[in-house]
Amino acid sequence: MDTTEIADWPSFHRLFAQIFGFPTFYGSNMDALIDCLSHLDEPEAAMMRSGLRL
């Protein structure tokens, strides 16, 4: 993760959404981030890009 791309909250959320492949309805706020990250171990929830391995 290239953190030099993070300049503010919008860029933080944009980078995380890109890296993890969050769905298009990702809300770009901390609640949405927590929601998506809490489902990363549930592929059927479709909260990340298919094939991403953590």
CB atoms under 10 Å from CB of 4, counted, come to 6
pLDDT for residue 15: 93
- Tell me whether residue 28 is exposed, middle or buried, using C-beta atoms within 10 angstroms of its C-beta: 0 to 12, 13 to 18, 19 or more: middle
- Ordered by start, the domain boundaries in the chain are 3-45
What's residue 2's pLDDT? 87
Closest CA to 32 of 10, 50, 7: 10
Task: Dig out the tokens for 21 from the structure.
Answer: 């492949």
Residue 19's identity, in one-letter code, is I
Residue 9 has what pLDDT?
A: 97
pTM for the predicted model, two decimal places: 0.77
pLDDT at 13: 96
Give tens-digit pLDDT for 5-49: 999 999 999 999 998 889 999 999 999 999 988 887 777 777 777
Question: Given this model, what pLDDT does residue 40 score?
Answer: 76
